[in-house]
Structure 1
């Protein structure tokens, strides 16, 4: 193992890479990880020196607070390789800012920019060979933070661990998606942590999603917790509805995650002259549009899937197939976003950053 130190990050390189053991043509999302990870501990009221080290397990005491009180947050983002072999991050500052908003909401310390962004840039530079070129290929980036203080007293931890791990990825979903609209279970509630990217948000939706899968659906379109009349998110993604030639998506709130892909698609759509309405769409509006033929498309939007078209939806005892259309807004927007991410089109928004 080779060890070096820069002014801000200690680097311990693996003695041997496992990259040649990886079948990049047959990747299962989120199961293969690169040679190195970044780790930085928060102790005695301050962040310690970040370390880039070989990917390896942690040892944690059974009383570690993350196991008992759920102080755990994360982000999801991607890096891409262009035709010239250069590696680019996409809107990483948005993820950094959202990460710290999640930290504040869960009474965790904010991560300094030099640790999050500086560490990420250095880690991507070291692992750039893991980023493969080709549409649909990327390097998925998972920053996360957990409470590592010990003891089962119900109070915030005094110690935390911030980590960034990297995973080579291809397309996230490879199947048609049918959804059921929630009329009982909720993903988030007013005053809760729905807008934070907290681990518990995802654990809480596994059970209702399992019930949906048992009925032949892949995901749930979540509705507001109070009335179950407002359409909010689709599974782990933000959701868009195309009625006639207008795109409608719910406004962000303390229930709805401020998705980076979501806001990128809104900006792209406006640039292309597509009418966009950021407002709550009611279940009744959706049902009426499906019945009278004005509902053209529904699609989820998120980092992992980018855009995932929904081919049908159910509500109570009703089911509707979505029409198959040639001029899909979802596919048009996905293509334009991908071309910016892979540097195949001009980035007029300034969303991409080259890794030197």
Structure 2
């Protein structure tokens, strides 16, 4: 279904974006991939450069796949308009966003710029892709817009597992509010302009070359230095950790299955719109997670066998914007796409620990 498609991936130097691009290059023929990322310094730029080099190495092996990387921001409307005009993408995967709950308290402007204005630019470009500017062109416009939402939209909902049928009108961070706004904006554009769109609520994505601001990566960096790691809510947090390969598999299946365009009884389009959770459906206690992480770091040789973990743990209260539990109901993803993430936490952290040893140690 994805062979020979023109695919735009925003946030292409990011953790999920880069892994998605690498999977597309490996598994599909005749595709043209356009990637845009401003490669900002929210976290270590060397990691982003590492991912881009991995992509460059892969693309050299594939003669039937084209790839173009644009170092710019989706906040620049003219850049997005020009990109759509030149490359005419058939599938758009919007992964560019300012991530992180706590950083949204420190730097809210970044979230307005990237998550709201940037996403608006993408929606507008999708909208105008249906206007034929060249009668000789076979381009019919964007067939499917897939975009990143987040488990953060569930806020402090007490009902678990979290279902996409749940009401999510009580965000506890600006980051969550922008992601919920993305879903509302996409719905409006799907209704008004018949744009097939699917939002994906990701649950705590982790793996090799991931984001250093995530707990597993930050803990490892601190333990290497001999610093104490802070375990929030006194260890009484649960997270539905989802391995990067599982996330990518979910995205690819969704990309190939756009919501159907239909006309309602009023003669107007029924919004071709959907939202899915992608999570492991198995929330792990934070203390258990830390224990598995330390065992895998020792196994990989990142830390010595006699490392005193107890001396480097500090139990602290919950932080503003955090939630005590994330837990995904992924039954709709299974029903509609035949897919459910399955990588165990130990297996995923083992892959991370081995990568960390090679990359840093």
- TM-score, length-normalised on structure 2? 0.24
Structure with more strand by fraction: 1
Structure with more helix by fraction: 2
